Structure 1
Amino acid sequence: MEIVGEEKFFPRNFYGFHGVMVVYDITNRKTFANVSHWLEEIDKFDSEDVCKMLVGCKSDLSKKREVSIKEAKDFALKENLHFIETSAKDGTNVKEVFFKMALFIKG
């Protein structure tokens, strides 16, 4: 299930999930600022054993970057999240993000 930044799309009964990816746009600081909010929403559900991954998208636009890799990594470490950056445009880490999530869930 993909939730695209709008509360109205956030499921009210979101139980039984094993992994969640919170995605932000590296070229848009506002999307990174919203990550904490989405983590709070996810934590309202029984998510203690859920694998959580922070995913920075649009890594191909590094010249327009508003969120540094260090800042995102530090945040992920603080929040106990796995971290990766991806680019749908050039394919960077697109497959890897799903493989890693599957491996983390499998344990």
Structure 2
Amino acid sequence: MVAIGVNDGKIEGISEQGNIKINDFVQCKINHCLPTIRVTGCFLEVINDKGKKDQVLLIHVDPRALTKMGWVRELGEGVKRIYKEMDALFLDDPEYTETENTVTLTLKKQHCYA
């Protein structure tokens, strides 16, 4: 599940992006994925961090798409690979949680300064 409009634990919403940008997010499965992947999406009504009515776009990616794109080869393999690649880049480990029906991998944003 991808939530667009949530950043670093804050609900920012997507309304300020405008209809063209929001449509770009919805169409990314067609315009930016080869092969095209199966996703479902919905808009969730929220109150953003500024106290205004807004929306978050929730996109559910069909797990078979992850296999087709080469991101996962076996159950759980992609998670192991993410940890390994992030460690090689000296990034913090992602936060991994698993329930009966859901797996969530939260990546932490790091700021790099020159």
TM-score, with length taken from structure 1? 0.29
Q: Which structure's residues are more often strand, by fraction? A: 2
Q: Which has the higher contact order (CA 8 A, sep 6+)?
A: 1
TM-score, with length taken from structure 2? 0.28
